[in-house]
Structure 1
Amino acid sequence: MTDQALWALGRGTGITALAFLTLSLGLGIATRSGRPLATLPRFAVVDVHRFAALAGTLLVAMHLGLLFFDPYAQLRLLDFVIPFLGAYRPLWLGLGTLAVDVLIVVIVSSLLRHRLGVRTFRAVHWATYALWPTALAHALGNGTDAGRTWFLVFAASCALIVAAALTWRLRADFVEYADKRIVERR
């Protein structure tokens, strides 16, 4: 019974982490526009982005811990650090490990943001554009729910949210910095 609970909680935290990381990525893109999102002012969007990123990170940590102690998953500490060495579906597990490694780099850069400087922080933060699809691929390839309709709808919804945010980001009228917006208005 405990084994099943660990497995269910491990899966659930992974899926919920993907939802929060999707929200964080979408809101992160939105905050770069400097415009309010719906009725929320920019500072509120930034706060929700940070909360979603923190919640997603904590859920990833829970996902790892629960699956580490689950006897069915049979994960080793090495599987959490070095990608593509796992015994079970090494490619898909390796993508999850790679996503965690990138997540750690992004977290550390966020914590050291004021010491790194804005340019370095932004350059490292761009890694989230690789982190998110890697995590989604891990969920689709390694997740035991990947063949279920509800999960495919969930994954497609996450992909749609990110695609919409990226489409908005790539629009010609997307101006990232306030000083450029002021110059363009003149």
Structure 2
Amino acid sequence: MGHSAMTEALWAFGRGSGIAAVAVLTVAVVAGIAARSGRAITLPRTAIADLHRGASLIACTLVGIHVLSLLADPDAQLRLIDIVVPFAANYRPMWMGLGTVAVDLFIAVVVSALLRHRLGPRTFRLIHWAAYGLWPVALIHALGTGTDAARPWLLTVAGACILAVAAAVTWRTASNFTEFGRIQRRSAR
């Protein structure tokens, strides 16, 4: 494989792993919302929690593959500092910076999950809420950075991700939701 073919392969692998990471991260967010719902659903709560953890680990792996393959691609112009310091990139600094913010938030969420028992439930939950910021930032990064942004297939994937998270949030925040119903009944007294 020549330099050009190798560079194209690295770019495609980097792009594909990034898009797959966003899709799997969407599954993790939706499963996380469902796991905390307190509502009766067809799967046991432990199965949903396992799905959330598994999807999170797969998304983490895909983000690692995404970053490493683009670091290896000379045409991507990605430097180590670009992975840590937002908006420092030479290539599309705004969009790359959003990717860096997403990676930084992802690291915080993963580390908090690994240290959950040492942090305590309140601190863990506070840090874990960063996932609600991480997901849209990662999605915007995917739509703004890549060469596929206007392609129908990517817009379809992005649309499906948006619909899934919007449906989960709507379901979770509905007035007849178990936890919110208890809060509303208490405050009405």
TM tier, smaller: over 0.9
Matched, 1:122 2:125: yes
- Deviation track 1:19-53 (CA, whole Å, cap 9, x = no partner) reads 1100000010001112343x211100100110000
Picking from 100, 104, 128, the partner of 1:101 is 104
Deviant stretches of 4+, over 4 Å: none
In 2, distance between residues paired with 1:117 and 1:127?
Answer: 16
Matched, 1:64 2:67: yes
State the TM-score, normalized to the length of structure 2: 0.91
| Structure-2 residue corresponding to 1:163 | 166
In 2, distance between residues paired with 1:155 and 1:82?
Answer: 26
Matched, 1:90 2:121: no
In 2, distance between residues paired with 1:29 and 1:21?
Answer: 12
AA of the residue aligned to 1:22:
T
AA of the residue aligned to 1:65:
L
Decide whether the 8 Å contact of 1:13 with 1:59 is kept in 2: yes
AA of the residue aligned to 1:122:
R
| Structure-2 residue corresponding to 1:30 | 34
Count of residues in correspondence between the two structures: 180
| Structure-2 residue corresponding to 1:41 | 44
Shift of 1:171: 0.8
AA of the residue aligned to 1:100:
V
In 1, distance between residues paired with 2:113 and 2:130?
Answer: 12
| Structure-1 residue corresponding to 2:25 | 21
Unaligned segments of structure 2, at least 5 residues: none
Decide whether the 8 Å contact of 2:39 with 2:178 is kept in 1: no
In 2, distance between residues paired with 1:90 and 1:129?
Answer: 23
- The CA RMSD measured in Å over matched residues stands at 1.6
In 1, distance between residues paired with 2:179 and 2:57?
Answer: 24
Percentage identity across aligned positions? Answer: 57
| Structure-1 residue corresponding to 2:15 | 11
Decide whether the 8 Å contact of 1:36 with 1:45 is kept in 2: no
In 2, distance between residues paired with 1:32 and 1:41?
Answer: 12
| Structure-2 residue corresponding to 1:146 | 149
Shift of 1:176: 4.2
In 1, distance between residues paired with 2:148 and 2:122?
Answer: 40
In 2, distance between residues paired with 1:61 and 1:36?
Answer: 35
